[in-house]
Amino acid sequence: MARIQGVPQDQAGPMVKLVYIFMRRGMKKMTGREAAHGTGIEPVEVWALQPKMMSGMGKFQQAVRKADGVDERIKNLVELKGAQMIGCEFCVDLGSQICRNSGFSDDELLALPRYRESDLFSESEKLALDYTVAVMRTPVEVTDELFARVKEHFSDEQLVEITALLTVVNLDRFNAAFRIGSAGFSEGMVCVPPDRPAQEPARVAEVETQPLPGSSARRSSMVSASLESLSGR
């Protein structure tokens, strides 16, 4: 359950009600199915507590998503990977089903956390995912060497499109902060697990004050544990 309640349909103003209608239709078109839990548009309902912000955010997302210079498969991949890194349960549930509905196999979804080791992705896709990982980290870790490799596969215009999409994905922190959970778009099917620290929130500050030489190993072990739990479903 989310930490705060959004604006329900019966309390929304005319403009917000119209947004709700279009969002529900859009979700059904992208996923090919209804949400198993709730309305399926919980993030929008929370944004509706600030209608002007909701409107501005929607216009920005619409402008970015209308761009069509990058293959849709790559855009779906980087968006899902970015959402996974943020740890947004709503987003990985939704994104996994969008990918599946657009032609991704379960094997491809399961391989995403370890995409570099998989032969299911092309080199261009792997580089786009490398770039995603670097952009989504805090601070951003896009090295000159990585950028040079990415430019061998993508034009400047395509890189602007991908980076703008990742900026939109970064808004998923909104959902994660409010703990907006899965709507069940992928219920009963394979879903990419959110990449979330094992520590309780109260221990995060303590962990961050310690040296982190083994942080990469910890991340790898968490991903392995997530994959094992998926395999056992």
31 within a domain of the structure (yes/no) = yes
Cβ atoms of 106 and 215 within 8 Å: the answer is no
Residue-wise pLDDT for 4-16, tens only, equals 999 999 999 999 9
Q: Residue 230: what pLDDT?
A: 40
- Domain span at residue 57 reads 11-193
127 within a domain of the structure (yes/no) = yes
203 within a domain of the structure (yes/no) = no
CATH code for the domain of 142: 1.20.1290.10
117 within a domain of the structure (yes/no) = yes
Three-state SS string over 173-211 comes to HHHHHCCCCCCCCCCCCCCCCCCCCCCCHHHHHHHHCCC
Rounded distance between C-alpha atoms, residue 27 and residue 98, angstroms: 9
Rounded distance between C-alpha atoms, residue 42 and residue 94, angstroms: 12
Domain count, the chain: 1
155 within a domain of the structure (yes/no) = yes
> Which residues, 6+ apart, have CB-to-CB distance to 170 below 8 Å?
82, 86, 136
Q: Which amino acid is at 11?
A: Q
User: What integer is the mean pLDDT of 188-214?
Assistant: 58
230 within a domain of the structure (yes/no) = no
200 within a domain of the structure (yes/no) = no
Rounded distance between C-alpha atoms, residue 92 and residue 84, angstroms: 6
Q: Which amino acid is at 228?
A: E
Other beta carbons less than 10 A from residue 165's beta carbon: 23
Residue-wise pLDDT for 164-198, tens only, equals 999 999 999 999 999 999 999 999 999 999 986 54
What DSSP character marks residue 192?
P
What DSSP character marks residue 139?
S
Residue-wise pLDDT for 87-141, tens only, equals 999 999 999 999 999 999 999 999 999 999 999 999 999 999 999 999 999 999 9
Q: 155: which 2 tokens? A: 């034009």
Give pTM, 2 decimals. Answer: 0.81
Handedness of CA 172, 176, 178, 180 (dihedral sign): positive
229 within a domain of the structure (yes/no) = no
User: What integer is the mean pLDDT of 25-44?
Assistant: 96
- Work out the burial of residue 227: count CB atoms within 10 Å of its CB; fewer than 13 is exposed, 13-18 middle, 19 or more buried: middle
